[in-house]
Chains A and B, each alone.
Chain A
Amino acid sequence: MAVRNDLRLLKSSAWLGWQMEANWTDPFLFATYSIVKPIAGTLILVFMYLVITGGETANDFFSYMYVGNALYMFVAEVLFGVTWVIHDDREHYMTLKHVYIAPMNFYIYIFGRSAIKIAITSFGVLITLAFGVLALGVGIDLGAVDWLLLTASLAVGLLCICILGLAMGGVSFLTAKHSIGINEGLAGVFYVMSGVVFPITILPSWAQTISKFLPVTYWMEVVRRAIEPAVMEGLAASSGYDVTGMGDMSNLTLMLLLLVSAGVFFIMSIGVFRVADNIARKKGKVDWTTAY
């Protein structure tokens, strides 16, 4: 019975999420909007690369950078999407208090609402990768993709990002006006520290130490190995050194490190959410509106 209720809640909150994301315009415009943004963001890096290399894209580092940037959409958009649910319900629609007091699993509601964001982001990532392969020669060979590793790493990574988003959502109870900024800050830390568009070995050593505590670092490496194994091997070979800083680790080791670091972040995130939730109720901030 409880499971059925939770599933119904998941379905209805996912439906609500879709309405909020998409019903402001017609489907064609929405699809265009969902494609143009990620492609344009990617093209910035592409042109930065082209300007320096003089147009050469058939290169392992280009594929490394391109795929990392595409995957980062999951980090930025899903993290943002989960936090945005709380921010939007509270500040714009002023429905958070009604949701909050309903006798339901709040986590399921949040993930249901965010599910559509994950779906839209997945669509954007796929389009970006397809564009890279077809137009720019990014080295993804579908026949060489390690689907098992990809599925497992995507599941762990996305769950971890969702929970991080929930923690940020909890923080937004207390700092509503700036919640999106804090969220962007965290996403920014991952962008610089997790080897998204450049290997972490170029960072100062203190920054590399931080990198090794972040689940996104391992997630990027594992997913890259799963979808572009030849590129990762080629990059290591052409550099002549352990360019990613994780070259000597097996896929299994990386998955374990991802699981452990994601587990730590998971526990920390749930803790942060609960503490923030508790403080918000103590201070009466759950139904505050700070829209100024």
Chain B
Amino acid sequence: MQHAVETQSLTRVFRPKKKREGKVVTALDSVDLRIDRGELFGILGPNGAGKTTILKILSTLLLPTSGKAYVAGFDVAKNLLEVRKRINMVSGGEISGYGLLTVRENLWMFSQFYGLKSKEAHQRIDVLLEKFGLRDKDKEKVRTLSTGQRQKMNVIRGFVTNPEIIFLDEPTLGLDVNAARTVREFVVDWIREDSSRTVLLTTHYMMEADELCNRIAIIDDGKILACDTPHNLKKLVRMNSTLTLSVGGLKDINDFSSIPGIDNFSSAKDAGGNETTLRFILEDESAVSDIVSTVLGKGSKILSLQKTEPTLEDVFIKLVGRGLE
């Protein structure tokens, strides 16, 4: 069966215009992905991991340095028009559109680039505005919308052309809880309506990836580290215990990696810098006493300690050796 998206050794290298202006960055390094029709596929990774680069290549905005990428069976570097007819993309935090046009006019304008008849476009716009709670905003100029409303309009723009495959690049970035939930629920419903539809979603919100995606690829430094269902990914750390400590006054984390029985760990300081959250993936629970004594030996105070169920973040920590944020 033809894959909705397929990449073969996809590599993208960015070179600075002049050598002194920076270093060569390998944004994608031999990425192999196969995404089937009907999948809601997530790419999870921290900022700068290469998520957006993949989407730019798949949406024909960027050429790969080497390797191949196919969307709906078409080569993204050669069959541009065939790819473009079948896709659309929504990026979080975008402020696309013209402020002097109304919400409806903006959506209609973009639909025209896909050749939609005006009547059909307006019907779809009506349905989508209703679903996103923007029905009463359709005659308002875009520049008067709030950030959340504008982002919802942006999401509608992506779906109004009814693409076969949609790329969602951090679609809930900057949205409040309710607006983000509306977007997530819509995406799930949309893909359920038609099994030939495909969603490729990038995010650095683990909960979002966990809740939405059939399969997830974890990416870091341009490399795919693991690719499976959320359930199977969590199995990677299911045999391990996960220990989370809140520590006050921790000066360094130098000695933890040498403690026997620790598979991997991450640390994150709070905004004030006084409290550190340490998250350990343990191979052997007997390491707990060593961890505690190491913390206390550094003159730090343990504020809380708990054993937790494995999450995708634990998978990420196990694979990468640091947290997502």
Q: Do chains A and B touch in the complex (CB under 8 A)?
A: yes
- A interface list, Cβ under 8 A from B: 290-292
Name the distance in Å between A275's Cβ and chain B's nearest Cβ: 24
Q: How far is the CA of A292 from the CA of B98 in the complex (A)?
A: 6
A residues within 8 A CB of B98? 292
Name the distance in Å between A24's Cβ and chain B's nearest Cβ: 13
B135 within 8 A of A: no
Q: What are 8 inter-chain pairs, A to B, with CB distance below 8 A?
A: A290-B99, A290-B143, A291-B99, A292-B98, A292-B99, A292-B100, A292-B142, A292-B143
Interface 1/0 per residue, B127-158 and A, CB below 8 Å: 00000000000000011000000000000000
B residues within 8 A CB of A292? 98-100, 142-143
A residues within 8 A CB of B142? 292
CB closest residue in chain A, given B97: A292
A residues within 8 A CB of B100? 292
| In the A-B complex, the 7 residue pairs with the closest CB atoms | A292-B99, A292-B98, A292-B143, A292-B100, A290-B143, A290-B99, A292-B142
Interface 1/0 per residue, B68-105 and A, CB below 8 Å: 00000000000000000000000000000011100000
CB closest residue in chain B, given A289: B95
B residues within 8 A CB of A290? 99, 143
Q: How far is the CA of A292 from the CA of B143 in the complex (A)?
A: 8
CB closest residue in chain B, given A292: B99
CB closest residue in chain A, given B142: A292
Q: How far is the CA of A292 from the CA of B150 in the complex (A)?
A: 14
Q: How far is the CA of A195 from the CA of B143 in the complex (A)?
A: 42
User: Number of residues in B with C-beta < 8 Å to the partner?
Assistant: 5
Name the distance in Å between A287's Cβ and chain B's nearest Cβ: 13
Q: How far is the CA of A291 from the CA of B99 in the complex (A)?
A: 8
Name the distance in Å between B262's Cβ and chain A's nearest Cβ: 42
CB closest residue in chain B, given A291: B99
CB closest residue in chain A, given B101: A292
- B interface list, Cβ under 8 A from A: 98-100, 142-143
Name the distance in Å between B140's Cβ and chain A's nearest Cβ: 14
B residues within 8 A CB of A291? 99
Name the distance in Å between A61's Cβ and chain B's nearest Cβ: 46
Q: How far is the CA of A291 from the CA of B95 in the complex (A)?
A: 10
Q: How far is the CA of A290 from the CA of B98 in the complex (A)?
A: 10
Name the distance in Å between B291's Cβ and chain A's nearest Cβ: 42
Q: How far is the CA of A291 from the CA of B98 in the complex (A)?
A: 9
Q: How far is the CA of A292 from the CA of B106 in the complex (A)?
A: 12
CB closest residue in chain B, given A288: B143
Q: How far is the CA of A59 from the CA of B99 in the complex (A)?
A: 53
Name the distance in Å between B26's Cβ and chain A's nearest Cβ: 28
Name the distance in Å between B93's Cβ and chain A's nearest Cβ: 13
Q: How far is the CA of A290 from the CA of B143 in the complex (A)?
A: 7
Q: How far is the CA of A245 from the CA of B325 in the complex (A)?
A: 72
Q: How far is the CA of A291 from the CA of B143 in the complex (A)?
A: 9
Q: How far is the CA of A290 from the CA of B95 in the complex (A)?
A: 11
A residues within 8 A CB of B99? 290-292
Known contacts A292-B98, A292-B99, A292-B143; 5 additional CB pairs below 8 A are A290-B99, A290-B143, A291-B99, A292-B100, A292-B142
Name the distance in Å between A256's Cβ and chain B's nearest Cβ: 48
CB closest residue in chain A, given B143: A292
Name the distance in Å between A158's Cβ and chain B's nearest Cβ: 36
Name the distance in Å between A175's Cβ and chain B's nearest Cβ: 14
Name the distance in Å between B94's Cβ and chain A's nearest Cβ: 13
Name the distance in Å between A19's Cβ and chain B's nearest Cβ: 16
CB closest residue in chain A, given B98: A292
Name the distance in Å between A29's Cβ and chain B's nearest Cβ: 16
A residues within 8 A CB of B143? 290, 292
Q: How far is the CA of A155 from the CA of B142 in the complex (A)?
A: 46
Name the distance in Å between B96's Cβ and chain A's nearest Cβ: 11
Q: How far is the CA of A292 from the CA of B99 in the complex (A)?
A: 5
Name the distance in Å between B276's Cβ and chain A's nearest Cβ: 29
CB closest residue in chain A, given B141: A292
Q: How far is the CA of A291 from the CA of B100 in the complex (A)?
A: 10
Q: How far is the CA of A115 from the CA of B323 in the complex (A)?
A: 47
Q: How far is the CA of A291 from the CA of B142 in the complex (A)?
A: 12
Name the distance in Å between B102's Cβ and chain A's nearest Cβ: 13
Name the distance in Å between B98's Cβ and chain A's nearest Cβ: 6
Q: How far is the CA of A291 from the CA of B96 in the complex (A)?
A: 11
Q: How far is the CA of A194 from the CA of B100 in the complex (A)?
A: 37
Q: How far is the CA of A90 from the CA of B203 in the complex (A)?
A: 30
Q: How far is the CA of A275 from the CA of B142 in the complex (A)?
A: 28
Name the distance in Å between B273's Cβ and chain A's nearest Cβ: 22
Q: How far is the CA of A141 from the CA of B99 in the complex (A)?
A: 55
Name the distance in Å between B100's Cβ and chain A's nearest Cβ: 6
Q: How far is the CA of A290 from the CA of B100 in the complex (A)?
A: 10
Q: How far is the CA of A292 from the CA of B142 in the complex (A)?
A: 10
